[in-house]
Amino acid sequence: DIQMTQSPSTLSASVGDRVTITCRASQSISSWLAWYQQKPGKAPKLLIYKASSLESGVPSRFSGSGSGTEFTLTISSLQPDDFATYYCQQYNSWGWTFGQGTKVEIK
């Protein structure tokens, strides 16, 4: 199995802050990485696919980068609607796995 490790587990930030979440893979996954946002009681929502491609309808303040084993999700200016939990997912090969999640809280 490919293990995905996110950091930090929790992040406290203020509206307007630039926020960066890191996801590391236990082996190379090329660019086969997605990022999802999940709010309490709701299903996750796709934000980024293929490491850096923005899903249609997702605000441009979200961006992704990386390849191989290290990836980042950046929110350029945190908005009130962005307080949520974020997950990375690798889909390099069958046996898809998620990171453990990063909760973005209000500071």
Residues making contact with other proteins (CB under 8 A): 1, 32, 34, 36, 43-44, 46, 49-50, 87, 89, 91, 94-101
- Closest approach, Cβ 106 to other proteins, in A, equals 19
Using CA atoms, how far apart are residues 10 and 90, in angstroms rounded to an integer?
21
Of 53 and 77, which has the nearer Cβ to other proteins? 53
Of 13 and 46, which has the nearer Cβ to other proteins? 46
Using CA atoms, how far apart are residues 32 and 102, in angstroms rounded to an integer?
19
Residue 37 tokens read as 């946002």
- Closest approach, Cβ 32 to other proteins, in A, equals 7
Of 17 and 63, which has the nearer Cβ to other proteins? 63
- Closest approach, Cβ 2 to other proteins, in A, equals 11
Using CA atoms, how far apart are residues 19 and 86, in angstroms rounded to an integer?
12
Using CA atoms, how far apart are residues 75 and 99, in angstroms rounded to an integer?
18
Token pair 């299903």 in the structure block, residue = 43
Query: Reduced to 3 states, what is the DSSP secondary structure of residue 27?
Result: coil
- Closest approach, Cβ 102 to other proteins, in A, equals 10
